[in-house]
A and B are shown apart, each in its own frame.
Chain A
Amino acid sequence: QKEVEQNSGPLSVPEGAIASLNCTYSDRGSQSFFWYRQYSGKSPELIMSIYSNGDQEDGRFTAQLNKASQYVSLLIRDSQPSDSATYLCAVPGGSGGGADGLTFGKGTHLIIQP
Chain B
Amino acid sequence: SAVISQKPSRDICQRGTSLTIQCQVDSQVTMMFWYRQQPGQSLTLIATANQGSEATYESGFVIDKFPISRPNLTFSTLTVSNMSPEDSSIYLCSVDLGDHEQYFGPGTRLTVT
Contacts and interface: CB of A to CB of B under 8 A. Distances in A.
B99 A32 contact: yes
Contacts of A43: 92, 104-107
A102 interface: yes
Interface in B85-104: 92, 96, 99-104
Q: Chain B binding site: helix, strand, loop or mixed by DSSP? A: strand
A59 to B, nearest CB: 16
A44 B103 CA distance: 8
Interface residues of B, number: 24
A101 interface: yes
Interface of B: 1, 31, 33, 35, 41-45, 48, 56, 58-59, 92, 96, 99-107
Interface of A: 32, 34, 42-46, 49, 51, 88, 92, 94-96, 98, 100-107
Given A96-B59, A101-B48, 7 more contacts: A34-B102, A46-B102, A88-B42, A94-B59, A95-B58, A104-B43, A104-B44
